[in-house]
Structure 1
Amino acid sequence: MLIAACVVVFLLGFGVAILISSKSKSSKVFSKALSAWLPTRQSQSYHEDTQRTDNDVLLTKAQCEAFPPVSWQKQAYDNVKSILLAEDEAAEKFPCIYATAGYRQNQHRYVFLHSADSSEPRNIRLIANALRTFRPLSHSLGPNTSLLLVHPPTKENHSVEKYRQCFWQILRGLRTCDSESWPAEIPTDVNAAKWMFCFDGAPWFFAAMTPAHEQRQSRHASNFIVAVQPRWVFDHLFRTPEMRRHAVEAVRKLIPFYDTVDISPDLAAYGDEGSTEAHQYYLLDDNETAACPYNDLDAS
């Protein structure tokens, strides 16, 4: 059935890594994690320093657990954990069973942004470097892996529409600092049925979660979070028609118990006529279409 139906509730798999060992080791891990989100020298150029990669920005479960309980990073991580494991007594089972499986199997990585402004050059550089590092690493993490881009909390209560603008600013910013050519077989027109966002020469899938989503609880989180997966994850999960059907049905049967709005009509199989993944990356809280504000992410 529909590729993106499986990700309406999040992205497939979220992995996590390594258990916490000793208290002294945790303090060292925290120091490394802290350096990843301390302010860096400001620059108005996305291109500056985009070739540098730093494995320390891809945090594991152990590193997230090591943050102080009062830190926003630990609180945001705990919220994700609570969602995936349905830790609240009143919570329904999270519909994307693959996301929960990925968490339990320690397959995902986290990146905590410097600020709540998605378009800040230092945030775009951080995300660009994280994607470059994550893509080759993802194959060793497992088929339910995801990269979570976690924003700090905001002082203002943003609307769903405001977060939509922030989301597309991230993708547009990534295009400005991509050193690899866009794959020739994938159109650049975001309204094309075969369009996928590409970075570092490869296609990716995105799913945004925000504090503003209320009816579509499967897209709600305490912080603005963008979950990212390399396309090979879907190719693996849906490698036969039967596996595709089973995966989609397993998720869809849980959604009515979780969301108070119907499944978005924008969710469609990749390449279906009249559809585009640009409508699927960021779902609204109702069933209106959340179109990309740009026809071409490279257009000035």
Structure 2
Amino acid sequence: MFEKNEILNWNENNWKKKAFVNFTEDLTGKNPKFPCIFGTSGYQKNELRFDFFQSIDIESIKLLGQSLIEYLKIAKKLGSYTSFVAFFNIETNKDVEEYEKDFWRVLNMLHRIDESPWPEDISKDTNNPQWEFSFGGEPIFVVCNTPAHKLRKSRSASTFMITFQPRWVFDEIGLLTPKGEKSKKVVRELLKKYDDISEYPYLGSYGDPENKEWLQYFISETNEVSNIEKCPFHQMLNQNSMELEQVKYVSGKNISLEQAVFELLPETGSVEVQRDTPLREHKTHTHPTNETLLIIEGEITFYAENQKISCKSGDRILLPANTKHSSIAGPNGCLYIIALEFVDPKIEKTKEKVGAAL
């Protein structure tokens, strides 16, 4: 975790320094003026803290969780305009919808690794006006910026970026007071000048009966929401459904072709047997359905969601529908089974043994 002066003094001309310089230029620009006057004040007062992450895989999210905990311990000492800003070194050529999936994946992984209980005074129902994302026992307002945002410049950044702001900050700066209402009006006026799109219709105040807080976390390039009743975080609170939202690797033991077929074979249906010759490469592509790949012989390396996953006999990969991925077989080739569904031994009932089935 870093403060601005540390980063500005870095000599390295790497992605971290570049991302931060672009962030600084956006936040402190005068023509037009950045709409979030609270964030600008926090930057000027050196109340913001920052960190950088190479990916959005589980290991990077664990590091993010550690930084967030460190930040939350000192946040109140930093001041009333404090926030924690996380920069991620992932692809910069995705579209808004892809970044939105990345954003909710990050929040859900954070939730999975959170060792603190959900705050008692914060609703777990995402459609409740009293709901707020929480981590480390602290309710936190979250904002995502991406390189894909062009019209909504207030949500644009040179790299994938997430800002975490403790809920108590809004109380301390008095957003529900007459002064706070005046400040919100100033922000709205600045937004009109800053963005090349009309005001987002779901901007609201926490606790208002008609407000759904999650709708403000990730705002798209349009003023439409595909399903206003189903928050992506709410859908992933269930363990089984969470597993379906991200690529998963499951290590296993050597397995025969017969065992693999019976393990993945559905009650009614079929599986596919695939053989790749040595070093056979499958270029980046997607599938419209969920898939499980169970390795039988040889080795294969998958590349998906900024992860490199090496598999051998008995290992399996769970690929959610529409996940961009590629692969390359090992020096001896690879034989594997493909099932058009998720078959995870950790969450599925164990199949009958091959001998019993025969």
Q: Do they fold alike, i.e. is TM over 0.5? A: yes
Match of 1:168 among 83, 101, 104: 104
Q: 2:179 is paired with a residue of what secondary structure?
A: helix
Match of 1:241 among 142, 166, 177: 177
Q: 1:247 is paired with a residue of what secondary structure?
A: helix
Match of 1:84 in 2: 27
Query: C-alpha deviations, 1:22-49, integer Å up to 9, x for none?
Result: xxxxxxxxxxxxxxxxxxxxxxxxxxxx
Match of 1:104 among 19, 25, 44: 44
| Structure index of larger Rg | 2
In 2, the alpha carbon distance for the partners of 1:172 and 1:81 equals 28
Match of 1:264 in 2: 200
Q: 1:295 is paired with a residue of what secondary structure?
A: helix
In 2, the alpha carbon distance for the partners of 1:93 and 1:223 equals 20
Query: C-alpha deviations, 1:216-253, integer Å up to 9, x for none?
Result: 10000111110111111101112652122121012112
Deviation at 1:80, TM superposition (A): 0.6
Query: C-alpha deviations, 1:183-211, integer Å up to 9, x for none?
Result: 22222122222111111111001011100
Match of 2:76 in 1: 139
Quick check: 1:217 aligned with 2:153? yes
Give unmatched runs, 5+ long, in structure 2: 240-358
1:11-160 to 2 correspondences below 5 Å:
58-86=1-29, 91-115=31-55, 118=56, 120-154=57-91, 157-160=93-96
Query: C-alpha deviations, 1:243-292, integer Å up to 9, x for none?
Result: 22121012112111100111111111112233211111111111112653
Query: C-alpha deviations, 1:89-114, integer Å up to 9, x for none?
Result: xx411111221121111111111002
TM-score under structure 2 length normalisation: 0.63
In 1, the alpha carbon distance for the partners of 2:88 and 2:108 equals 17
In 1, the alpha carbon distance for the partners of 2:82 and 2:120 equals 26
Contact 1:189 1:296 in 2 (8 A): no
Query: C-alpha deviations, 1:25-82, integer Å up to 9, x for none?
Result: xxxxxxxxxxxxxxxxxxxxxxxxxxxxxxxxx1111221233352111100000110
Match of 2:129 in 1: 193
Match of 2:216 in 1: 280
Contact 1:266 1:289 in 2 (8 A): no
* More divergent stretch after superposition (282-291 vs 161-170): 282-291
Contact 2:54 2:89 in 1 (8 A): yes
In 1, the alpha carbon distance for the partners of 2:234 and 2:36 equals 30
The 3 A distance-change label for structure 1 pair 297 and 197 is farther
Contact 1:211 1:220 in 2 (8 A): yes
Deviation at 1:293, TM superposition (A): 2.2
One-letter code of the match for 1:282? Answer: F
Quick check: 1:230 aligned with 2:166? yes
In 2, the alpha carbon distance for the partners of 1:101 and 1:294 equals 30
In 1, the alpha carbon distance for the partners of 2:175 and 2:41 equals 19
Q: Give me the identity figure in percent.
A: 33
In 1, the alpha carbon distance for the partners of 2:152 and 2:176 equals 29
How many residues in Structure 1 have an aligned counterpart in Structure 2? Answer: 236
Q: CA RMSD in A?
A: 1.7
Quick check: 1:253 aligned with 2:189? yes
In 2, the alpha carbon distance for the partners of 1:294 and 1:202 equals 17
Q: 2:178 is paired with a residue of what secondary structure?
A: helix
TM-score under structure 1 length normalisation: 0.75
Contact 1:107 1:145 in 2 (8 A): yes
Quick check: 1:299 aligned with 2:238? yes
Give unmatched runs, 5+ long, in structure 1: 1-57
One-letter code of the match for 2:62? Answer: R
Contact 1:72 1:153 in 2 (8 A): no
